[in-house]
């Protein structure tokens, strides 16, 4: 058995790395990160393929709700090593490209359709019944029947791959742009665009190494020798405070942070949680995202040259989103005339996807939506499946989480991060990093944790 570690962290993604870096910064005592994969960064890791294209696990962009997180990122990069971008996001509705957010740029739809959307919004404004507590009904109330049917419902069905009537509405605040009907009318009449909404209207991206470069740098700060890669936890004995590793080896600890998906953590615990808690954790809902990256020789078509990403609600393609990844950094592609598209396709028990056949379906989808033409030459195809990709904000989620967290707290275990806290609304990189940091602060000086419970902003 190795010597006792004051702070044990399971998982070396953004949450675990931020916790470790904060502990190191506070001089809190020794920590150890145990990571099952062969690299740090978790879902925010990046990869370089054999042809020299860099890929993320889906289009990651960095934006932040927290000045401390900004300061952390700034401290990791020399000036110029982080590129700044203004979002250029679009939705493809039928054969039309509409700037995001769609509800604020209706003028890009045929006139009749656009004004029908406005009429739908007006009808809902006059609706005096109680506000809906399920996402599908909420979308109709917020956007009107026409716009909901045109974009909100088909797009969300595609991205979540989950029945929308089982999703709650508490997560929506800064994830879906609201509606100002007077302004929409005015913009439509005056043919004006309104594309500046949202926390990600500008975003940053590392010049080199993809999104994963952020977390590689933070790993260096947390101490490379304090990270054990390719190490699979087998049991977390919370009576003895000992982690048992697959293949032998035990790590005694004082405090433990888990960033694993909650059901995986529950399966590790010894003594095993009561059946009721295990069932609650097993019933937490999530989807899977299949990422297909296409590396291309040549130059992107004119209309894609300034674009960041595009949403696809339609059935003509399997993906829900495509990022023009070469636009994020010239170093995302090999030297020479190359460009790249990064596609994301969701799957779940409700929307199965044939992963093997997907790359071909993605190519067909790119042709059907005009992203690629016959003359485009794909020289590389990169695939990755994120088994746990989006934690679904199901209507009964918070009730489940309350009971699970109460049990974990009694066992001296904190679970944080995208799938450790299971709250989509605080599941981005900035939120996850803040959850890790707040945990470290609590361990070191009794600070209060707010973010993992859903406090999205500073
Ligand atoms: C498709 C997609 C697009 C996204 N886009 C954005 C974006 O644009 N902007 C943004 O800010 N965020 C984005 N995110 C979210 C971002 O990836 C997460 O915020 C972040 O990765 C969460 O960090 P984490 O440490 O909580 O979890 P993870 O990144 O999941 O890290 C958990 C770590 O635990 C390890 N682990 C799991 N099980 C075990 C085990 N049993 N034993 C040991 N280790 C284990 C994993 O290998 C992983 O390294 C996106 C996510 C996805 C899936």
Domain spans in the chain, listed from the N-terminal domain onward: 5-45+213-284+393-453, 46-87+200-210+286-391, 102-190
Whose CA is closest to atom 26 on ligand 1?
Answer: 417
Q: How far is the CA of 400 from the centre of ligand 1 (A)?
A: 21
Q: 259 CB less than 6 Å from ligand 1?
A: yes
Give the range among 135-144, 190-199, 300-309, 375-384 with minimum mean pLDDT.
190-199
pLDDT of residue 174: 63
Q: 417 CB less than 6 Å from ligand 1?
A: yes
Taking each helix axis as running N to C, give the angle between helix 181-190 and helix 111-125, from 0 to 180 degrees, rounded to the nearest 10.
Answer: 160
Whose CA is closest to atom 50 on ligand 1?
Answer: 60
Residue % of the chain over a pLDDT of 70: 98
Q: 389 CB less than 6 Å from ligand 1?
A: yes
Q: 212 CB less than 6 Å from ligand 1?
A: no
Q: Enumerate the β-bridge partners of residue 290.
A: 345, 385
pLDDT of residue 457: 62
- CATH architecture assignment, domain 46-87+200-210+286-391: Alpha-Beta Complex (3.90)
Q: How far is the CA of 104 from the centre of ligand 1 (A)?
A: 31
Average pLDDT over residues 409-426: 97
Q: 437 CB less than 6 Å from ligand 1?
A: no
Q: 318 CB less than 6 Å from ligand 1?
A: no
| C-alpha–C-alpha distance, residues 453 and 422, integer Å | 10
- CATH architecture assignment, domain 5-45+213-284+393-453: 3-Layer(bba) Sandwich (3.50)
Q: 58 CB less than 6 Å from ligand 1?
A: yes
Mean pLDDT of the chain: 96
Is the whole-model pTM more than 0.75? Answer: yes
| C-alpha–C-alpha distance, residues 451 and 178, integer Å | 23
Q: Identify which has the larger pLDDT, 437 or 103.
A: 437
> Is 60 exceeded by the pLDDT of residue 343?
yes
CA distances from 207 to 202, 204, 424 (A): 16, 9, 27
Whose CA is closest to atom 1 on ligand 1?
Answer: 58
Nearest to 325 by CA among 335, 338, 315, 311: 338
Q: How far is the CA of 25 from the centre of ligand 1 (A)?
A: 23
Q: 35 CB less than 6 Å from ligand 1?
A: yes
Q: 13 CB less than 6 Å from ligand 1?
A: yes
Residue pair 210/47 in contact by the 8 Å Cβ criterion = yes
> Is 70 exceeded by the pLDDT of residue 413?
yes
Computed on alpha carbons and rounded to an integer, the radius of gyration of the chain in Å comes to 23
Q: Best mutation site among 343, 418, 435, 456 for ligand 1, i.e. most ligand atoms within 8 A of its Cβ?
A: 418
- Tell me: the pLDDT tens digits for 11-61? 999 999 999 999 999 999 899 999 999 999 999 999 999 999 999 999 999
């Amino acid at each position: 058995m190795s010597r006792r570690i004051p702070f044990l962290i399971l998982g070396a993604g953004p949450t675990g790395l931020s916790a470790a870096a904060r502990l190191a910064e506070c001089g809190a005592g020794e920590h150890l990160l145990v990571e099952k994969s062969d690299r740090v960064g978790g879902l925010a890791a990046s990869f370089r393929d054999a042809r020299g294209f860099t890929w993320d696990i889906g289009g990651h962009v960095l934006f932040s709700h927290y000045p401390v997180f900004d300061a952390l990122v700034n401290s990791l990069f020399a000036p110029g090593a982080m590129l700044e971008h203004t979002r250029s996001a679009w939705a493809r509705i039928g054969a039309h490209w509409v700037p995001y957010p769609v509800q604020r740029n209706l003028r890009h739809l045929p006139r009749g359709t656009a004004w029908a959307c406005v009429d739908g919004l007006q009808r809902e404004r006059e609706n005096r019944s109680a506000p809906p507590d399920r996402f599908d009904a909420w979308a109709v109330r917020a956007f009107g029947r026409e716009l909901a049917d045109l974009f909100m419902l088909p797009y969300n069905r595609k991205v979540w791959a989950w029945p929308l009537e089982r999703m709650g509405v508490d997560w929506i605040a800064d994830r879906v742009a609201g509606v100002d009907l007077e302004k929409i009318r005015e913009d439509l009449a005056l043919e004006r665009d309104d594309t500046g909404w949202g926390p990600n209207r500008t975003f940053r991206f590392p010049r080199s190494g993809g999104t994963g470069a952020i977390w590689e740098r933070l790993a260096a700060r947390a101490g490379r020798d304090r990270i054990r890669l390719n190490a699979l936890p087998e049991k977390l004995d919370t009576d003895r405070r000992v982690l048992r590793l697959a293949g032998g080896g035990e790590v005694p600890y004082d405090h433990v942070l888990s960033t694993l998906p909650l059901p995986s953590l529950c399966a590790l615990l010894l003594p095993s949680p009561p059946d009721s808690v295990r069932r609650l954790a097993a019933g937490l809902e999530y989807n899977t995202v299949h990422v297909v990256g296409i590396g291309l020789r040549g130059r992107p078509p004119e209309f894609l040259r300034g674009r960041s990403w595009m949403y696809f609600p339609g059935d003509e393609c399997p993906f829900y989103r495509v990022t023009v990844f070469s636009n994020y950094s010239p170093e995302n592609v090999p030297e020479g005339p190359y460009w790249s598209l990064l596609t994301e396709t969701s799957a779940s028990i409700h929307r199965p996807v044939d992963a093997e056949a997907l790359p071909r379906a993605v190519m067909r989808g790119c042709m059907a939506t005009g992203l690629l033409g016959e003359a485009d030459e794909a020289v590389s195809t990169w695939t990755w499946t994120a088994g746990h990709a989006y934690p679904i904000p199901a209507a009964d989620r918070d009730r489940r989480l309350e009971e699970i967290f109460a049990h974990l707290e009694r066992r001296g275990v904190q679970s944080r991060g995208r799938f450790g806290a299971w709250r989509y609304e605080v599941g981005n990189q900035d939120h996850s990093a803040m959850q890790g940091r707040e945990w470290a602060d609590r361990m070191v000086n009794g600070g209060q944790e707010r973010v993992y419970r859903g406090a999205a902003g500073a």
